[in-house]
Amino acid sequence: MTLTILPAAAIAAVAAASPAPAPIQVMVLGTYHFDNPSRDKVNVRVDDVTVPRRQRELDAIAEAVATFQPTRVMVEVQRPGPTYDVPDYATFSPALLRTDRNETTQIGYRIAARVGLRSVQGIDEQPGKGEPDYFPIGRVESYAKAHGDQAPLDAAFASVQASARQFEAEQSVTSIPRMLIRYNDPSTPMGGQDLYYSLLRFGDGDNQPGADLNAMWYLRNAKIFAKLVNVARPGDRILVVYGAGHGYWLRHFAATTPGYKSIDVRPYLEKAADQVR
C-alpha cells in the first residue's frame, strides 16, 4: 500500500477551492413574560397585550423582524428531538392573538406565520427527574443567611428589582418595542449578566453556591443552544424568542460558535418603535 502525503500548499489550495458554508445567522429577541406567570425571581406586572393598542405595537415588531427573513423561529417551549417541533403552532390562527397573551404566541407564532413557516421549534431545557436545578438560588440564599450576608444578596437583586418597578411605572406610556429594546440591551439589569456574576461572591472555597448557580445557568443555556445547533443548517436565519434573562448566553453562543453569527435585534425594534411612535 502506498501512502500519498500531499504538501501543505496543495492542501491549502483544495481548502481554498471549497467554498465555506453560509453562516447560520441567529437573532435573539429577549422578552419579558406577557402573561404574568410569576415564575422568575423578580417579576413584572404586565398589562393586557391583547388590546388594540398593544396589538398594533406587536404587529409593528412582526413587520420589522420579518425583514430579517427568518427561516426558522425557535421559542421557550420544551419539545423532544430530533425536530423539536411545537404541535400548537399547527393550529395557530390570527384569532388566537386576541385571547392568548403568551409571548410565544404573540411574537413567535405571529412572526412565523407572517413569513410563512410551516413549523416552529421549542428548544427549552428543564431538569428532568433526578437532574440538578439549573437555577439553585435557594442554596445561595441559605449560604447568605448562615454567613450574615443578606445585605449583599439584597444589593445584588436591587438593580433588577428597580428596573422591574421602572418598567411597571412606564409601561402605560411606553410601547412594547421600546420596552423590549431595554430588555435586549446588555448594559441594562434586565438584559445583562451583572446579577449572576454578583452572586459569585457567595462562597468560602469549600462551599461555592454562587459559582455553582452560574455554572448551572450556563449549562441550561448551553443545552438550549445545542438544540438549536441540532436542527440548524448552513444559511439558516434563526429568530429565537426567549426570556430576556437567557439573552446574554444565547447571544454569546451565536457570536462565538464556529459557523454562526449573532444578529442584533435592537435595530429592528427601533424601527418598530418609530413606526408606532
* Tens-place pLDDT, residues 49-86: 999 999 999 999 999 999 999 999 999 999 999 999 99
Lowest mean pLDDT among 25-39, 110-124, 235-249: 25-39
The pLDDT of residue 244 is above 90? yes
DSSP code of residue 3: P
Percent helix, strand, coil in the chain (nearest 5)?
50, 10, 40
* Tens-place pLDDT, residues 179-209: 999 999 998 888 889 999 999 999 999 999 9
Strands laid side by side in the 260-263 sheet: 121-122, 72-75, 237-243, 24-31, 260-263
- Is beta strand 121-122 parallel, antiparallel or unpaired with respect to 260-263? unpaired
pLDDT (0 to 100) of residue 163? 87
pTM of the model: 0.90
Query: Reduced to 3 states, what is the DSSP secondary structure of residue 24?
Result: strand
Q: Extract the C-alpha cell encoding 120.
A: 416552529
Per the document, the length of the chain is: 277
Task: Enumerate the β-bridge partners of residue 263.
Answer: 27
In this prediction, residues 1-8 reach a mean pLDDT of 62
> Whose CA is closest to 29, among 240, 213, 260, 272?
240
Q: Extract the C-alpha cell encoding 7.
A: 504538501
Q: Which amino acid is at 1?
A: M
Domains of the chain, by residue range, sit at: 22-275
pLDDT (0 to 100) of residue 5? 66
Please provide residue 93's backbone torsions phi and psi, each rounded to the nearest 5 degrees.
-145, 155
- Helix H or strand E encompassing 240: strand 237-243
Please state, in angstroms and rounded to a whole number, the distance separating the CA atoms of residues 183 and 88: 26
Q: What are the CA-CA distances from residue 53 to residues 113, 118, 142 (Å)? A: 21, 28, 44
* Tens-place pLDDT, residues 206-220: 999 999 999 999 999
* Tens-place pLDDT, residues 113-142: 999 999 999 999 999 988 889 999 999 999
